[in-house]
Amino acid sequence: MIAKATELKLDIQRIATVSAILTRPDKARACYVLAHGAGAGMRHASMDKIAEGLSDRGIATFRFNFPYMENKQGRPDQPAVAHATIRAAVEEAARLCPGLKLVAGGKSFGGRMTSQAQAKAPLPGVKGLAFLGFPLHADKKPSTERAEHLAHVAIPMLFLQGTRDGLADLGLLKPVVAALGVKATLHEIEGGDHSFAVLKKSGRTDDEALAEVLDTLAAWIDKLG
């Protein structure tokens, strides 16, 4: 599908103005508000690949920078600022893509901040949350505290997780997802790390692993009410 990428500015009321990109293919059927991870902004090559891959599958994406990334600061924003940024992004995506099914989430930190925002107060119009590697805990520090807020999310959630993800011990994540009931789905990417990269000995490429991620995400979006 032919996609048009539009460079935008996103105003976060009383906080900041940040850059954003809407990638919308012809005949898009949904829009994914895609938040970046803690260490790489919306223009990172991985974000480009995700946006392009979803566009090929008929899904628009609305990417944006958090203020700390826009200003080239090393430390991520405080949660309140991140939540406000996500709310502004969701509102702008809904304005720019009227009539399209709206989902939200993103990579690692961005996905977790999105679920926190949703847990505090529902994101208007968002039908589901999709996590591209939910960061359940810090590296080599297994815990489930970061998932406690998920019990307050009432809409469907999709967890796409690599089986080698150092930030999400599957032995801990599986019970977390199971406890959330029918609203939560876990899809494991065999051999994938936190960025879904796979080892050469796995017999497949990083691009093939990413294709599995995006195929699964697109199919899940299509099933949302």
DSSP for 36-80 reads --SSS-TTSHHHHHHHHHHHHTTEEEEEE--HHHHTT-SSPPPHH
Question: Tell me, what CATH number does 94's domain have?
Answer: 3.40.50.1820
Q: What integer pLDDT is reported at residue 169 of this predicted model? A: 96
Give every residue of the chain whose pLDDT is below 50, as ranges.
none
Cβ pair 113, 82 in contact under 8 A: yes
Cβ pair 15, 81 in contact under 8 A: yes
Token reading at 113: 């901040």
| Residue 35 to residues 27, 38, 169, Cα–Cα distance (Å) | 23, 10, 22
Q: What integer pLDDT is reported at residue 216 of this predicted model? A: 98
pTM above 0.95, yes or no: yes
C-alpha span between 64 and 44 (Å, rounded): 11
Q: What integer pLDDT is reported at residue 38 of this predicted model? A: 96
C-alpha span between 170 and 166 (Å, rounded): 9
What amino acid occupies position 103?
V
In the chain, the largest separation of any two C-alpha atoms, in whole Å, equals 50
Number of domains in the chain: 1
Strand order across the beta sheet in which 3-12 lies: 3-12, 16-25, 59-64, 30-35, 101-107, 126-132, 157-162, 184-189
**Could you report the per-residue pLDDT of 79-100, keeping only the tens digit for each?**
999 999 999 999 999 999 999 9
Q: What integer pLDDT is reported at residue 225 of this predicted model? A: 82
Which residues constitute the domain of residue 38? 3-223
DSSP secondary structure code for residue 123 in this structure: P
